[in-house]
Amino acid sequence: MDRAMSQKRLAQVFDEVAREVTERASGIRLLESGAKLAGELCTVYTSFQRGYRTGVSLCAERSLFTRLTQRMMQTEEVSPQEVEEFSREYFNALCGRIVSQMYPETKIPARFERPSFHEGRYSPRGRQKHFSIQYASDGAGNAELVHHLQDMEAADTLPE
């Protein structure tokens, strides 16, 4: 039988996966923080096509996405196109890991769309924030990981 995860448990999975994937992909350590995002922002976003009717976004200071790309490419010189491409690939890995961590508890086989990259803070239409986790990195900039629900589902999709 399919089971929903509590918001607390879901946030825990998101947090653990974000830290693990980011450190493994780039060596950048994310630390939970109340820090506000500032400066030039970018967002990667995806929604689930199957299994869930939710979305996930990571809004971060461009400096974090740039450093992530530099570390993944192992070079200091990166173009804006490379930052966009590598940010989407990183987020694809992050979301894939989230799905794989959720499956043992929910038994819901999920599939998500190819992540999109947006300049600035992106808020998908028809969605609202379910929860968010703010991060400061070890010198690369701040980020916010957000779980989005469809507006009509916000109250009862995932039990507390």
Q: What is the pLDDT of residue 157?
A: 40
What confidence tens digit (pLDDT) does each residue in 38-75 have? 889 999 999 987 778 889 999 999 999 999 999 999 99
Residues 45, 158: contact at Cβ < 8 Å? no
**Prediction pTM value:** 0.88
Average pLDDT, the chain: 88
What confidence tens digit (pLDDT) does each residue in 108-133 have? 888 889 999 999 999 898 888 899 99
Instruction: Count the alpha carbons within 13 Å of 117 in the hemisphere toward its beta carbon.
Output: 16
